[in-house]
Amino acid sequence: MTGQVLLSTYNGQAYLRPLMESVLAQDCQHLEVLVRDDGSNDDTVNLLREYAAANPNVQVIVGDQVGVAQSYFELLQRSSAAADFLMLCDQDDVWRRDKVSRAVGCLARGGPETPALYCSRVAIVDEDLKLLGYSDLPRKGLSFRNALVQNVAMGCTITVNQAARRLLLRETPRHVCMHDWWFYLVVSAFGHLVYDEDPAILYRRHAGNVFGIPLGTVETWRLKLHRFRRYGKLNPVVRQAEEFNRIYGASLPEDHRLVLERFLESRRRLSHRLRYSVCCDVYRQSTRDQLLLKFLLLVNRMPC
């Protein structure tokens, strides 16, 4: 089995070295690393070139600043058609030694022609890698009906097979909430999903990513308020669903097509929103979030 790690960096010199060391120390063979720097102005590029000079399996692309989502879509476009599996990676995390082999082992159980995506829980640590807690488990399970309105596939844990890569490369979307959410949405509609409850990644919390994973009730609601203020009027979730429909709608299985049509149609009129908010067939993972979803559906706003 061959694998390729896709890493986008931006001003990541503070934590990049532990990440690279953990990726290069994986207990698997034939692992390549493709890095795209998104316009860093610190010493990140020099550090990456140091690793590329010492490791022939590390390739570095220096690009203009386009933002994290677009940077990962460019990495996907440049990814290897020969790799059996692709793994997304964040610049400030630390991988446990068996991260890749576990993901590959889970996905290898399915057929190579079926698009498949693996993601997992993470252990949340502080800047010094001291354990703070764990990310929430998706108790209701992963599915297309969940992926339309919530992302539970953290990008730093995602691994996809070559069939999923080909599906995702059908067209680069113009409107997405985030690249990992798009990966989850697309593969959930056409393929197989695997969620690993055993964390294989140390997710480092620091000043630069405080809106990543909240810890505790107060911080959770602080994050929700921030996202509501930022995105509520823009309905990015609906725009993402419309973009998904434009690219993949004609190919959807009948059950997923009906779910998507009902979701988009409910946006049209207040009467449609009222009816849909009562009996919607999309869901978020917690009871609290599901109640919030129903309210926001009614007022024509959407949570991210």
pTM: 0.91
With contact defined as beta carbons under 8 Å apart, do 304 and 212 qualify?
Answer: no
271: confidence class by pLDDT, cuts 50, 70, 90: confident
Q: For residues 17 and 122, what is the distance between their CA atoms, to the nearest angstrom? A: 20
Question: Which of the pair, 165 or 277, is modelled with greater confidence?
Answer: 165
Question: Which of the pair, 179 or 297, is modelled with greater confidence?
Answer: 179
- Strand 123-125's sheet: what is its strand order? 94-95, 201-204, 123-125, 131-134
211: confidence class by pLDDT, cuts 50, 70, 90: very low
Query: How many CB atoms are closer than 10 A to CB 245?
Result: 16
CATH superfamily, region 3-209: Spore Coat Polysaccharide Biosynthesis Protein SpsA; Chain A (3.90.550.10)
| Amino acid 119: pLDDT | 98
Chain segment 46-60, per-residue pLDDT in tens:
999 999 999 999 999
What residue segments make up the domains of the chain, in order of their start? 3-209, 217-298
Given the DSSP bridges, would you call strands 58-63 and 85-89 parallel, antiparallel or unpaired?
Answer: unpaired
Asked whether residue 219 carries a pLDDT value surpassing 80, the answer given is no
Chain segment 106-121, per-residue pLDDT in tens:
998 888 899 999 999 9
| Amino acid 212: pLDDT | 55
Q: For residues 33 and 55, what is the distance between their CA atoms, to the nearest angstrom? A: 10
Chain segment 134-152, per-residue pLDDT in tens:
999 999 999 999 999 999 9
Q: List alpha helices for 25-131, DSSP H.
A: 44-54, 68-78, 99-107
The continuous run of DSSP H or E covering 59 comes out as strand 58-63
